[in-house]
């Protein structure tokens, strides 16, 4: 067992087991306090909410509460380890919501593999929450589950494994493309991986200006082509091509996007790319090709990984706390494409405005204190302008409020 594993086990076991607890936010010091908090006083807000459901956002924790929900079918790089074994990850997500955006969250692990039953269970829980963060649900079921819940529920539903990865990839890619003097509309992109994260990344890149005919997608069996029997999301990315392997399509590529597994990329593949290649090897914990091996054959490459021990970490925590903070504060009914795009641009702009901006700094660092106040207001504005928010937040005033919130979280 490695040192990090030993430290992690000791960390989780120390003191009160786990990483989270519940706190009481109102005074319960007197008999009158207790009468107001519970019976008989609690009947008053109950009746107000019964008459006007939106009052729940005034009288309960709903307006600052997110459900972090999984069935444990695709936990990190560990696979289908089950709902209970996924609980430490969900607790970790709760910690990140609180640490970075002051959002309270409950982790809910559901022992159910049937997609329709899972939809019904999650939908029945929705009155508790102001938003739902789906986590670690395997593809292709995750696409269906998110779509069905978004259709049914009046609160934001967001599968972070898909869209969180896509947003941070989008921000880093915009900066890398600009830094290398390219045009996103003409770059050739090769993607290794055809799961939930890969599909979301590609869709967002197209939304940002990439052209579908310049994109080649590979799964474990090779290039997605029209001669292969494909269905669902994979069929949408099938190309008319005689190429069958990843190595074949890497020739002349500008961008490699790896959302697959370790060792699928070689140094020869990097050599076959165009000069100044953009190489995002995001498999975790072991990337498709280690950055030092990429750098050996392409010293001028811009490289990103999913790891914290290399520059340019593509970490979902750069976006999901701020997306939900904005959505909750402006009363958004969903997290839409406009909000995701606003987050991409805000993250990219923040990195560009930093003195460290360069090939080893194309996205902000996870602990950048500017994130809460710099990204969140842009998302809230996009929500209001696109018609999904109940109220408009003035960016400058909202940013000031978030500065105070951020200071309280330190």
* Domain boundary, last residue among 132, 160, 188: 160
d(CA 385, CA 49): 28
Q: What is the pTM of this model?
A: 0.93
Among the listed residues 237, 271, 222, the one whose alpha carbon sits nearest the alpha carbon of residue 251? 271
Q: How far is CA 2 from CA 18, 88, 237, 263, 307, in A?
A: 21, 18, 40, 21, 17
The 3-state DSSP class for residue 279 equals strand
Same-domain pairing of 101 and 242: no
d(CA 393, CA 328): 12
Same-domain pairing of 217 and 357: yes
Same-domain pairing of 153 and 227: no
Tell the burial category of 243 from Cβ atoms under 10 Å away from its Cβ (0-12, 13-18, 19+). Answer: middle
Report CA Rg, the chain: 22
Q: Do 234 and 194 meet the contact criterion of CB atoms below 8 Å apart?
A: yes
Q: Do 314 and 168 meet the contact criterion of CB atoms below 8 Å apart?
A: yes
Same-domain pairing of 318 and 355: yes
Q: Do 65 and 130 meet the contact criterion of CB atoms below 8 Å apart?
A: yes
DSSP string for residues in 25-87:
-S--SSHHHHHHHSTTTTHHHHHHHHH-GGGHHHHSGGGGEEEEEE-SSSBTTTBS--TTTTH
pLDDT score of 78: 85
* CATH code: domain of residue 76: 3.40.50.10380
Q: How far is CA 167 from CA 20, 221, 259, in A?
A: 27, 27, 14
Catalytic residues: 38, 93
d(CA 322, CA 156): 13
pLDDT digits (tens, 9 = 90+) for 292-333: 999 999 999 999 999 989 999 999 999 999 999 999 999 999
pLDDT digits (tens, 9 = 90+) for 104-113: 999 999 999 9
**How many C-beta atoms surround the C-beta of residue 37 within 10 A?**
13
Residue labelled with tokens 């998302």? 379
pLDDT score of 76: 82
* Domain boundary, last residue among 138, 160, 182: 160
Same-domain pairing of 251 and 121: no
Same-domain pairing of 315 and 287: yes
- Beta bridge partners, 66, equal 105, 131
Same-domain pairing of 47 and 149: yes
Same-domain pairing of 214 and 200: yes
Count of structural domains, the chain: 2
d(CA 190, CA 257): 6
Known binding-site residue numbers for (S)-malate: 284, 315
pLDDT score of 361: 97
* CATH code: domain of residue 276: 3.40.50.720
Residue 173 phi, psi dihedral angles, 5° rounding: -70, -40
Among the listed residues 156, 164, 200, 106, the one whose alpha carbon sits nearest the alpha carbon of residue 324? 156
* Domain boundary, last residue among 105, 135, 160: 160
Same-domain pairing of 155 and 172: no
Cα(first)–Cα(last) distance of the chain, in Å? 33
Same-domain pairing of 124 and 165: no
C-alpha 375 chain-centroid distance: 14
Same-domain pairing of 186 and 257: yes
The tokens for 405 are: 């919130």
pLDDT digits (tens, 9 = 90+) for 379-389: 999 999 999 99
Host domain of residue 314: 161-409
The tokens for 123 are: 């939908």
Among the listed residues 131, 184, 142, the one whose alpha carbon sits nearest the alpha carbon of residue 339? 131
The 3-state DSSP class for residue 216 equals strand
Q: Which stretches of the chain score pLDDT less than 70? A: 1-2
pLDDT score of 3: 87
Q: How far is CA 270 from CA 302, 381, 389, in A?
A: 12, 40, 45
Same-domain pairing of 378 and 404: yes
d(CA 87, CA 264): 30
């Amino acid at each position: 067992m490695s040192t990090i594993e030993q430290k992690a086990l000791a960390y989780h076991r120390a003191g009160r087991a786990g990483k989270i607890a519940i706190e009481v936010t109102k005074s319960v010091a007197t008999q009158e306090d207790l009468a107001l908090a519970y019976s008989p006083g609690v009947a008053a807000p109950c009746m107000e909410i019964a008459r006007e459901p939106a009052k729940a956002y005034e009288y309960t924790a709903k307006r600052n509460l997110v459900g972090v929900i999984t069935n444990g079918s695709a936990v990190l790089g560990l696979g289908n380890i089950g709902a209970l074994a996924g609980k430490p990850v969900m607790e970790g997500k709760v910690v990140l919501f609180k640490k970075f955006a002051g959002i309270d969250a409950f982790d809910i692990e559901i022992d159910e593999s049937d997609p329709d039953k899972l939809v019904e269970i999650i939908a029945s829980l929705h009155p508790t929450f102001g938003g739902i963060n789906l986590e670690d649900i395997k593809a292709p079921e995750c696409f269906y589950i998110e779509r069905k819940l978004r259709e049914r529920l009046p609160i934001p539903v967001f599968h972070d494994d898909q869209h969180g990865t896509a947003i941070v990839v989008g921000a880093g890619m915009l900066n890398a493309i600009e830094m290398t003097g390219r045009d996103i509309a003409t770059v050739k992109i090769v993607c290794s991986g055809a799961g939930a994260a890969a599909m979301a990344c590609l869709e967002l890149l197209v939304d940002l200006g990439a052209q579908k005919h310049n994109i080649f997608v590979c799964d474990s069996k090779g290039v997605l082509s029209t001669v292969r029997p494909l269905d669902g999301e994979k069929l949408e990315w099938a190309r008319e091509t005689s190429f069958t392997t990843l190595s074949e399509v890497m020739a002349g590529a500008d961008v490699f996007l790896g959302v697959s597994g370790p060792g699928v990329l070689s140094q020869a593949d990097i050599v076959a790319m165009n000069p100044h290649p953009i190489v995002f090897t995001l498999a975790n914990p072991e990337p498709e090709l280690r950055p030092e091996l990429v750098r050996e054959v392409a010293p001028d490459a811009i490289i990103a990984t999913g790891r914290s021990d290399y520059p340019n970490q593509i970490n979902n925590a750069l976006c999901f706390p701020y997306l939900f903070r904005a959505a909750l504060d402006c009363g958004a009914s969903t997290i839409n494409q406009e909000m995701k795009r606003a987050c991409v641009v805000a993250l990219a702009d923040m990195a560009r405005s930093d003195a460290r901006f360069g090939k080893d700094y194309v996205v902000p660092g996870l602990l950048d204190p500017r994130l809460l106040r710099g990204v969140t207001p842009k998302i809230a504005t996009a929500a209001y302008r696109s018609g999904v928010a109940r109220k408009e937040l003035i960016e400058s005033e909202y940013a000031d409020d978030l500065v105070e919130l951020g200071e309280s979280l330190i």
